[in-house]
Structure 1
Amino acid sequence: MSEPPARTPHVETHCPYCALQCGTRLSGDRDMGVTVRPAEFPTNRGRLCQKGWTAPDVLAAADRLTVPLVRAPDGNLTETTWDRALDTVAGRLRELRTRYGPDTVAAFGGGGLTNEKAYLLGKFARLALGTSQIDYNGRFCMASAAAAGKAAFGVDRGLPFPVTDLAAADTVLLAGANVAETMPPLMQHLDTAELIVIDPRHTPTAQRAKLHLQPAPGTDLALALGLLHITVVDGLTDAEYIRRRTHGFASAVRQAMAWWPERVEAVTGVPASTQRAAARMLAAARNAYILTGRGVEQNSQGTDTAAAFINLALALGLPGSGHGGYGCLTGQGNGQGGREHGQKADQLPGYRSLTDPEARAHVAGVWGVPPESLPGPGRTAYELLDSLGRDQGPRALLIFGSNPVVSAPNAAHVAERLASLDLLVVADFVPSETARTADVVLPVTQWAEEEGTLTSLEGRVLRRRALLTPPPHVRTDLEVLHGLAVRLGEPPHRYPTAPRDVFDELRAASRGGPADYSGINYRRLDAGEALHWPCPATEPAHPGTPRLFLERFTHPDGRARFAEVDHRGPAEAVSAAYPLHATTGRVLAHYQSGAQTRRVAELHGAAPEPLISVHPDTAARAGVAGRALARVTSARGSMTARIQLDPTMRPDTLFIPFHFPGDGSANLFTNPALDPRSGMPEFKLSAVRLEPLPEATP
């Protein structure tokens, strides 16, 4: 009797890219290859975008990192053993700490790390390294909306409601969000809604809109104030909701009264009639939502701008009403969980404040150390990168899950600071532009080779499951942190290497915090329960909280706070030398710094190089033709790319995607001016000039 055919291994997991975390089913192995199919998961409902369909291709990247590398005296990275690599790192870290103090070493994490990795990295930095110098690349993504949401509602969760609630919306305002390219499966939840899109570009999302407001870059705050002005003056507010559920309305309105529609039009370029139409569409809807994205937040006034859109939502009575709401469209795959469990400069697990004595005592108790031994808050992401190698700044940096040589603003300067370090260590699975500059490179597992959890933009905790066994000499990030911690004198039990054990400790550390995961465990997740935080440990088991704020906000008095904000303009104005605005963003085929997607043939073929989108009249004035090479220059630096003529662009604005390295890196010209509350750089607005280049220029 013949043997039955072997079953193809398969797992139910999630896409490795954005925070929508589409459900997927992986099958196959290394020999036969891995295939992906969309799952009937609530966020994607059986659909995937181009990146999701091609995600398995990265698993077989030709230049996959499979052995540790150490830079030799001749300047080349050479293969070595794990023991030598970890001994080298630990030895240099000990030397630097002994000579200069604990803050001479630093760690930099990422919004794509699992909850377990983010948690253990924060613990490792504060205990094994003893440093206050830790932050992560999520500071470049969601920090402004997070700060505004926490101030308004008492807690920050990207969407305080499930994505599926959007399907019941009559009207949705998307401010600075191009979800048709950045989160394509989300668009199916907006099919029946009338869209209002605020974006300087006529994006694919704006093409679907009933109303497109096209403000000058850097003027979104003035526009939000104007919409609140119209809402109040035209009697469109929900007075009972404001009276019963909020504080601070009068102060917010006092600022908005100075922004009448005609003044807003003069500043933003959005016609007064269009402003009024937008306000009336929102007010007339039975179910209305206001969603903000990076276009609103990546500015030096990003927190105030997000707060102004929250003010508008509160004035209309939307958040926690059951018939609409406000949300931030978190970007990175674990952008939500990544900012909850301790890899931010000012936070402890459970979204606790590092300066809160009770929070410090609780987490220190879980870790088995005195509260006073925990360092205080350190520098935010760009401040940390800018301080590298300087007096009083770190001399060593460990990077997990980030590629700041491409993704950080003022990128040439950041590359110089990284080069000035005594020690740069990068843990990655492909040789990113940052990894190529490192002194030690540690090969770690990819998404389909590891277990763990992530938290989607709607606060739902999800299981990542492994299909493949890692290559022989590849380790998990948890194993790397364990190996370094032990070499630095920490007890081995303090740094578990099993994700389930790390998650159980995370649960205890988060207990009682704003992001309480204590009632969530792998058993419940593996059984398919939909568990949104907060989910405290209770008997009977807590069902999780898919919808926040239905009864009260999380401030002690249960009320939301209006913010008193005013438009102050961008950090950098156009001038005779730099007469144009440049804004950056994503394109459909690529993700973040492109380290993964540029290695996928189909995605690279769809978008093989950066393009400068420019209005034909603007191009003609600059003396550049379509498909010709051109240079974009700011006060900080220049990048080179080909021209893409686009008659829908504002004549005063250029658009360049940020996924590309080298001379095509948009972040060579971006502005590191920071939002004073969130530490967010002003990615979305730089004053630049456009110049032609001869075709021979590489």
Structure 2
Amino acid sequence: MMTDLLLKYFRTKQQQVQSERTYDTQCPFCSMQCKMQVIEQSVVTRKRYKTIAKDNPTSEGRLCVKGLNAHQHATHRDRIKYPLLKVNGGFEQITWERALAIIKEKFEEIQKEHGKNAVSVYGGGSLTNEESYLLGKFARVTLKTKYIDYNGRFCMSAAASAANQAFGIDRGLTNRLSEIEETDCMILSGTNIAECQPTIMPYFERAKENGTYVIVIDPRKTETTKLADLHLQLKPGTDAALVNGLLKVLLDEGYTDASFIEERTKGFKEIEQHLSMMKLEEISEHTGVAIADIQKAARVFGAKKTGMIFTARGVEQQTDGYMAVRNLLNMLMVTGKIGKPSCGYGAITGQANGQGGREHGQKADQLPGYRSIENEEHRAYIANIWGIEKEDLPRKGVSAYEMFEKVHEGDIKAMFIMGSNPIVSNPNATYVKEALKKLEFLVSVDMFISETGQLADLILPTTSYLEDEGTMTNLEGRVTLREASKEKPGQTKHDWEILCEISRVMGKEKYFSFTSAEDIFNELRVASRGGVADYYGITYERIRKNDGMFWPCPTLEHEGTETLFEESFQHTDKKGIMIVVANESNVPKEKASNEFPLYLTTGRIMSHYLTGVQTRKSAALAARNVESHLQIHPETAFKYGIRDNMLVEIESKRGKIEVRSLLSNEIRQDTVFVPFHWADSQNVNNLVSKELDPTCRMPGFKVTTVKVKSVHEQVNQ
């Protein structure tokens, strides 16, 4: 009897699971690009999903909590599945035919009245290489506008500019990830990898087990600093000065590689003279780091045979982020720890395709292959590939934030946004919101109605990572292929299809006659050929066969370049360039005062990604952190009458937000921290200054002076 009941139970269960499908893909979030399978089961009237990790050379079969739950946003009921037109303050579903007709009419009307540059394009660092490439081509060929930039400007621009100027090439890591565990010493500057990109952590943990000495530079104690042998807990915004202190010890105490400096670099004498006039006492006072700790860090790094330096947003998102990173690259060159096994530099890319997204034309000043839009030879090459006259190719525009200044100035009248939510991600966010409201026409291409989408005149529905095939370039410069076989829901279209459709109705079909992502990649390969970021020798077939391929890869016979600078740097004279870096930025940073006595710094938490549009649609992720918070030292909190889990008002010169307090001994007493994944009254970027790094145009997200008080105190007043 019991056996019959069990058989009946299992037959019922088997019948309930009517079908099962498996989708091979990779995580849509950080630059590790972890491979995975999403298993879809049809159960009676609903579908259920589970995610399992796949082995691969980068993440070695690991997934973090975001990857495990990514399918929750891709299958969310709030997905936009049809074009939406704003009518009387609300959105109405319309056909693609009408949506395309409206775009054609509005863009042509605005450009006829105000000129080609009156229409702008704003991209994203999570687009595939194919779509990043096509977006740049769309802006310059279909719209003929010079105004295009993307949110990666706020992620990698300081590190990218620094590496390009110092080495002649910008690739996230100069070495393979596997070399991390073999190095003798490493410096992690402004990077909280344990929480931001946890699947990379085992490389660093194995290094630690192997005896690697770990130095972490960060104003906060984080999960990453727990790995450190030495934590330099500096005052926010003083990174460049701290590195000058490290360099001074290296030079004064003879921890330099004279032959490497002589044969492979230039600019050393100027640095030597500059540092001879500095005093460690002054640097210690300026940074808040003890002289003994500065000396210890420099001596260990200098004495070890091999060493690596890694940077991320903590050091880069400053108005002197470019110079701070240049100074860290100075350290590598004076000690000769570059271009050798287990020696090198790593910029820990944040966004999914932050690396590839900046290589092929989304940035205001770049053309595919990391070519310069102002270089006549580069312009001629790309114009020829695209089949247009060189003279018809626009010149460079302005950076992402500066486009909103152009809106306020009246130069930009329309904006086409693909894969980004600038209201939340930009500094001086209220100003950006006001700019978007001023536009005569705003188009948002997205999976959801984001905070930016709410202001759009037209929203176009795009596909998710499960549906949209294409290549991505991960943080070590490995080009990977994201397979995507799930059917498109409703009337969604791939980003590349949307660009082709708009180009068709605007009379540019012959330039955009692609039928697949691979078609686009094959044109990208040719467009990048001979450039710094040369993808010509990489094909879909070779990526599949080799589990990804490193660029540069100039021919179909080339195996890809795993380690850069083994024999020379990328500059014409083959030498790396060192430069003098001042302790203080030439763009003045805010200083703590009686009115605004605390330093605010921002960053990520593990369960959310960027502006949270996708992760807040995941129930499993949203439940971990339902709202933002203010991390504040208990003694600082006591001084301002703040208790744990209390609603707190944070105010800067630009505005106010309200979040809950989180008391922690892990932060300096003069510093507070707020994550940037929330919008509206919790949008920390409402507080951040509009000042930009003069070289790379990076905003100073990491240094804002603020005051805090409990909302309870305000009510009682």
Q: Under a length normalisation based on structure 2, what TM-score does the superposition of the two structures give?
A: 0.94
Q: Aligned partners of 1:124 and 1:600: how far apart in 2? A: 32
Offset, 1:7: 8.2
Question: 2:646 is matched with which residue: 607, 620, 628?
Answer: 628
Q: Aligned partners of 1:50 and 1:297: how far apart in 2? A: 26
Partner amino acid, structure 1, of 2:667: M
Aligned to 1:212: 231
Offset, 1:386: 2.3
Aligned to 2:592: 574
Q: Would the aligned equivalents of 1:169 and 1:190 in 2 still touch at CA under 8 Å? A: no
Aligned to 1:544: 560
Offset, 1:6: 9.2
Aligned to 1:254: 273
Offset, 1:695: 9.0
Report the 3-state secondary structure (helix = DSSP H, G, I; strand = E; otherwise coil) of the residue aligned with 2:712: coil
Partner amino acid, structure 2, of 1:550: E
Report the 3-state secondary structure (helix = DSSP H, G, I; strand = E; otherwise coil) of the residue aligned with 1:681: coil
> More deviation in 419-428 or 517-526?
517-526
Aligned residue runs from structure 1 range 285-434, under 5 A: 285-391=304-410, 393-434=411-452
Report the 3-state secondary structure (helix = DSSP H, G, I; strand = E; otherwise coil) of the residue aligned with 2:690: strand
Q: Aligned partners of 1:239 and 1:355: how far apart in 2? A: 37
Which ranges of structure 1 fall in alignment gaps of 5 or more residues?
none
Q: Aligned partners of 1:161 and 1:295: how far apart in 2? A: 22
Question: 1:439 is matched with which residue: 428, 451, 457?
Answer: 457
Offset, 1:208: 1.7
Offset, 1:529: 4.6
Cα distance, 1:318–1:68 mapped onto 2, change above 3 Å: same
> More deviation in 31-40 or 52-61?
31-40
Q: Would the aligned equivalents of 2:27 and 2:36 in 1 still touch at CA under 8 Å? A: yes
Aligned to 2:30: 18
Partner amino acid, structure 1, of 2:564: L
Question: 2:166 is matched with which residue: 152, 156, 163?
Answer: 152
Question: 1:203 is matched with which residue: 204, 214, 222?
Answer: 222
Aligned to 1:562: 578
CA distances 1:280-331 after superposition (whole Å, capped 9, x unpaired): 2212323311111101110110100000000011111111022411121111
Aligned residue runs from structure 1 range 504-653, under 5 A: 504-538=522-556, 541-569=557-585, 570-653=588-671
> More deviation in 483-492 or 453-462?
483-492
Report the 3-state secondary structure (helix = DSSP H, G, I; strand = E; otherwise coil) of the residue aligned with 1:427: strand
Offset, 1:524: 1.0
CA distances 1:381-416 after superposition (whole Å, capped 9, x unpaired): 11012221433x210000001001111111111001
Q: Would the aligned equivalents of 1:511 and 1:517 in 2 still touch at CA under 8 Å? A: yes
Q: Aligned partners of 2:19 and 2:683: how far apart in 1? A: 45
Offset, 1:491: 2.8
Query: Is 1:9 aligned with 2:21?
Result: yes
Q: Would the aligned equivalents of 1:147 and 1:678 in 2 still touch at CA under 8 Å? A: yes
> More deviation in 580-589 or 596-605?
596-605
Partner amino acid, structure 2, of 1:207: K
Cα distance, 1:551–1:9 mapped onto 2, change above 3 Å: farther
Q: Aligned partners of 2:463 and 2:620: how far apart in 1? A: 23
Query: Is 1:51 aligned with 2:66?
Result: yes
Report the 3-state secondary structure (helix = DSSP H, G, I; strand = E; otherwise coil) of the residue aligned with 1:9: strand
Q: Would the aligned equivalents of 2:179 and 2:341 in 1 still touch at CA under 8 Å? A: no
Q: Aligned partners of 2:573 and 2:19: how far apart in 1? A: 57
Partner amino acid, structure 1, of 2:366: Q
Offset, 1:434: 0.8
Q: Aligned partners of 1:346 and 1:572: how far apart in 2? A: 29
Question: 1:666 is matched with which residue: 662, 666, 684?
Answer: 684
Q: Aligned partners of 2:60 and 2:203: how far apart in 1? A: 10
Report the 3-state secondary structure (helix = DSSP H, G, I; strand = E; otherwise coil) of the residue aligned with 2:481: strand
Query: Is 1:240 aligned with 2:267?
Result: no
Cα distance, 1:233–1:7 mapped onto 2, change above 3 Å: farther
Q: Aligned partners of 2:104 and 2:583: how far apart in 1? A: 48
Report the 3-state secondary structure (helix = DSSP H, G, I; strand = E; otherwise coil) of the residue aligned with 1:672: coil
Q: Would the aligned equivalents of 2:186 and 2:308 in 1 still touch at CA under 8 Å? A: yes
Offset, 1:497: 4.2
Aligned to 2:240: 221
Aligned to 2:695: 677
Q: Aligned partners of 1:628 and 1:168: how far apart in 2? A: 46
Aligned to 2:82: 67
Query: Is 1:190 aligned with 2:204?
Result: yes
Question: 2:48 is matched with which residue: 24, 30, 33?
Answer: 33
Offset, 1:450: 1.0
Query: Is 1:84 aligned with 2:98?
Result: yes
Aligned to 2:7: none
Aligned to 1:172: 186
Aligned to 1:94: 108
Aligned to 2:121: 107
Offset, 1:458: 0.8
Aligned to 2:4: none
Offset, 1:523: 1.3
Cα distance, 1:273–1:249 mapped onto 2, change above 3 Å: same
Q: Aligned partners of 1:412 and 1:497: how far apart in 2? A: 40
Q: Aligned partners of 2:98 and 2:41: how far apart in 1? A: 31
Q: Aligned partners of 1:651 and 1:311: how far apart in 2? A: 31
Cα distance, 1:559–1:457 mapped onto 2, change above 3 Å: same
Q: Would the aligned equivalents of 2:30 and 2:197 in 1 still touch at CA under 8 Å? A: yes
Question: 2:518 is matched with which residue: 494, 497, 500?
Answer: 500
Q: Aligned partners of 1:254 and 1:591: how far apart in 2? A: 44
Offset, 1:239: 1.3
Q: Would the aligned equivalents of 1:367 and 1:494 in 2 still touch at CA under 8 Å? A: no
CA distances 1:572-594 after superposition (whole Å, capped 9, x unpaired): 22222111110000011111111
CA root-mean-square deviation: 1.8
Cα distance, 1:29–1:415 mapped onto 2, change above 3 Å: farther
Offset, 1:526: 2.0
Offset, 1:11: 4.0
Q: Would the aligned equivalents of 2:644 and 2:661 in 1 still touch at CA under 8 Å? A: yes
Q: Under a length normalisation based on structure 1, what TM-score does the superposition of the two structures give?
A: 0.97
Report the 3-state secondary structure (helix = DSSP H, G, I; strand = E; otherwise coil) of the residue aligned with 2:599: strand
Which ranges of structure 2 fall in alignment gaps of 5 or more residues?
1-10
The size of the alignment, in residue pairs, is 692
Q: Aligned partners of 1:651 and 1:322: how far apart in 2? A: 40
Report the 3-state secondary structure (helix = DSSP H, G, I; strand = E; otherwise coil) of the residue aligned with 1:606: coil
Q: Would the aligned equivalents of 2:104 and 2:502 in 1 still touch at CA under 8 Å? A: yes
Q: Aligned partners of 2:54 and 2:272: how far apart in 1? A: 46
Q: Aligned partners of 2:713 and 2:237: how far apart in 1? A: 33
Q: Aligned partners of 1:596 and 1:494: how far apart in 2? A: 29
Q: Aligned partners of 1:29 and 1:98: how far apart in 2? A: 52
Q: Aligned partners of 1:523 and 1:477: how far apart in 2? A: 23
Q: Aligned partners of 2:95 and 2:548: how far apart in 1? A: 42
Partner amino acid, structure 2, of 1:476: H
Q: Percent identity?
A: 41
CA distances 1:328-349 after superposition (whole Å, capped 9, x unpaired): 1111000000000001000000
Offset, 1:252: 2.0
Q: Aligned partners of 1:323 and 1:465: how far apart in 2? A: 32
Q: Would the aligned equivalents of 2:162 and 2:323 in 1 still touch at CA under 8 Å? A: yes
Aligned residue runs from structure 1 range 472-511, under 5 A: 472-511=490-529
Offset, 1:207: 1.7
